[in-house]
Chain A
Amino acid sequence: MLTNLNSIIIAHVATFFFISGFMKVLSLKAFLQFVIEFKVLPKKLSILVGSLIPFLEIIASITFFFQQTWKFGIGLIFGLIIIFAYGVTQAIHSKRKIHCGCYGKWLNTEVDFFTLGKQMYLLLLALFITFSIPLHSVDHSILSIISGFLMTVIAMATHFIWHNYRKNVSYLRKTI
């Protein structure tokens, strides 16, 4: 059972990073602008890091999926989660309203505690895999990949719905 669970979580995390990386590549220019708006790094360094992130996400997702390269993949995933969490924390701390660019310009969500919660969720999944994989070998089946992918769709839909909810509430709370 744990093997199957590992397989689903690996497929979930891998598809999550793959889709978000792929969406960023499709709107790279907009994503770079979002990274600059974070103001965590100087502008030139932001452009460099911003250009690398989507490709690193795709590489991390592919390498994490295969048993031979999963250690490299999980290392990259931890690195990316830490970078994202740091950027999000700084943005929340500065109380600036900026776009997170989590999925490029496609799901144009804002940085808030939900974004931070999402990073914590991914971190927990990555930690679970780190401690359970050495004990159990993982064989991916079609069903586990489909399940992992559907979990990713649900997670992204949740983020999108949260974003819409926030928009509606800010509209309703507008001072008359």
Chain B
Amino acid sequence: MEEFIFYSIILLWCLFLFHSFLLFLLFRQFGEIYLSSKEGIAKDGVSLGATLPSAEAYSMINKKTVNIKGISNKSSIILFLSPNCKPCRGIIDDWNKTQISYSKDVTFVMVIVGEEKEVFYFNNKYKLNGEILWDESKGLFTRFKVRVTPFAFAIDRNGLINNKGLCGSKEQLDMYVQSIISSEEEGGKSGDRYN
């Protein structure tokens, strides 16, 4: 009987460790699932109220490498997209129309990630308005902590992140534009509310 108890204890310890390992993996997987959910993705990107990160990309308008910090001294909308993503293609018409409507007050910057051929083809095909940057090395994507496209940032004239999130519809794009316009009207101190 004593021998039986000894072996049972050894096996129970093994099972305990096995179950602990299973629980560990299960909780990690819950975390991954949360990060893939709409709520998780909405929390992506540089924090609200933070300063616009400094990173370089190739300007397809000026045909040279530029730093995103020096692009504009106005408020700006930065939209990250990829040529292969369907929702990104769906937002382009609205992007072009919104850019025409608000170009006086807001600078529209589109950051495209992908291979040279597809990015240039994409740019020529859709005749994109605003400043178009090709993020060849994914430096901007990394610095802005973007995982999913289309993802937008609303930047106020002080270079602070005013709003951010997924941008797959006209309503969302309008929301980002309105958020910086209303913050300008309030005195351009949008960053203060996050401090």
Contact = CB atoms under 8 A, between A and B. Distances in A.
B11 A147 contact: yes
Interface in B80-132: 85
Interface of B: 3-4, 6-7, 10-11, 14-15, 18, 21-22, 25, 28-29, 32-33, 35-36, 85, 147-149
Q: Is the interface of A mostly helix, strand, loop or mixed?
A: helix
B148 A8 contact: no
Given A158-B21, A161-B22, A173-B32, A150 B3 contact: no
A151 interface: yes
Shortest 8 CB-CB contacts between residues of A and residues of B: A172-B32, A147-B7, A165-B25, A176-B148, A143-B7, A154-B18, A172-B36, A154-B14
A150 B25 contact: no
Contacts of B25: 161-162, 165
B14 to A, nearest CB: 5
B4 A143 contact: yes
Contacts of A168: 29, 32
Contact of B85 (A150, A173, A176): A176
A173 B6 CA distance: 44
A146 B10 CA distance: 12
Q: Is the interface of B mostly helix, strand, loop or mixed?
A: helix
Given A144-B7, A165-B29, 20 more contacts: A4-B6, A4-B7, A5-B10, A8-B7, A8-B10, A141-B3, A143-B3, A143-B7, A146-B7, A147-B7, A147-B11, A150-B11, A154-B18, A158-B21, A161-B22, A169-B29, A172-B29, A173-B36, A175-B148, A176-B149
A172 B6 CA distance: 43
B3 A4 contact: yes
Nearest to B19: A154
B4 A158 contact: no
A1 interface: yes
A169 to B, nearest CB: 5
A174 to B, nearest CB: 9
Interface of A: 1, 4-5, 8, 141, 143-144, 146-147, 150-151, 154, 157-158, 161-162, 165, 168-169, 172-173, 175-176
Nearest to A162: B25
Contacts of B149: 176
Question: Most chain-A Cβ atoms within 10 A of its Cβ — which of B10, B15, B28, B148?
Answer: B10
A162 B25 CA distance: 8
Question: Most chain-A Cβ atoms within 10 A of its Cβ — which of B7, B18, B35, B85?
Answer: B7
A157 B6 contact: no
Nearest to A157: B18
Contacts of A176: 85, 147-149
Contacts of B32: 168-169, 172-173
A175 B147 contact: yes
A162 B24 CA distance: 11
Given A165-B29, A172-B32, A150 B14 contact: yes
A176 B113 CA distance: 13
Contact of B10 (A141, A147, A158, A175): A147
